[in-house]
Structure 1
């Protein structure tokens, strides 16, 4: 069994229950592989929406939303699968081939409608992803603001990086 190198970044679990949002930090070990992230989110057991937002090494982000019978996923940059296990795991689960090494274009893979029922339509999520001048944490903050839990998300990030 190989020891996985730690990956920089953060993972946040987001829960909406009874019309209220709650954000909590997930252990950074979930950034090394998708299975750990999905398991941690499923353990939250909520009657409302549950999803994870992962900023991996300030390079890309992953949205993970357990659904009955599976999981909805969105990877902000498919090319990240060439360098990061969690991104490769996402493409594997989506049954999408990794891009070629010489492909320099950035494009998302997965379900762009993953948060549409929470106030973020596909088109708006795509616009956020295509803002290549923004870091993943800034993109995730925009997503949080648009869905209505931006203040909670920002406060959590402040406490994580004090």
Structure 2
């Protein structure tokens, strides 16, 4: 099976033709105001593509991407000159999703060595920088509570992040326009 992002994976990996649910948005904070815009759907398949789309915004303020992949997990991507900061809400997603495996690889974390058939019996855990949005008003302790609430779907967790930082209305408008 072909892999979407060049990561060779097991038989459960998604292929380029798979239609992932979810959304990818860019969030920009400039002059005290939030702006949320949709990224191309390709951002859900390729971490490098998501980063290129964010860098193309050329914003002077804080920029980060929120990727909700299949409502299973989310990724926060914050481009920086020294390399992107990353947070993935569920490291076990690296077993089934190329973009999750790419995210773990970019952080220098190995994809968990778990049997795909036993994933339902394993509690998910996050990997990356819980303080990724701390300078914008979301402390790592609060982010830890959000990603630790495994009863929520990824879009609900992203909604909590947006509400906490103050761009929930802007996110809602973009998601409505995307039909999500």
Q: TM-score range by the shorter chain?
A: over 0.9
RMSD across aligned positions (CA): 1.3
Residue of structure 2 in register with 1:39 after alignment: 52
Residue of structure 2 in register with 1:156 after alignment: 174
CA drift at 1:131: 1.0
Residue of structure 2 in register with 1:71 after alignment: 84
Residue of structure 2 in register with 1:113 after alignment: 131
Q: Does 1:96 align with 2:109?
A: yes
Distance 1:148 1:19 in 2: 11
CA drift at 1:8: 1.8
Moved over 2 A (4+): none
CA drift at 1:100: 2.0
Residues 39-82 of structure 1 show CA distances to partners (whole Å, capped at 9, x for unaligned) of 10011111100000000011100000001221000000000000
Distance 1:37 1:160 in 2: 17
CA drift at 1:38: 0.5
- Unpaired runs of at least 5, structure 2: 5-15
Structure with a larger share of its residues in strand: 1
Q: Tell me whether 148-157 or 2-11 shows the greater mean CA deviation.
A: 2-11
After TM superposition, the score normalised by the length of structure 2 is: 0.86
Tell me: higher relative CO, structure 1 or 2? Use CA pairs within 8 A at least 6 residues apart: 2
**Length, aligned pairs only:** 161
Residue of structure 1 in register with 2:36 after alignment: 23
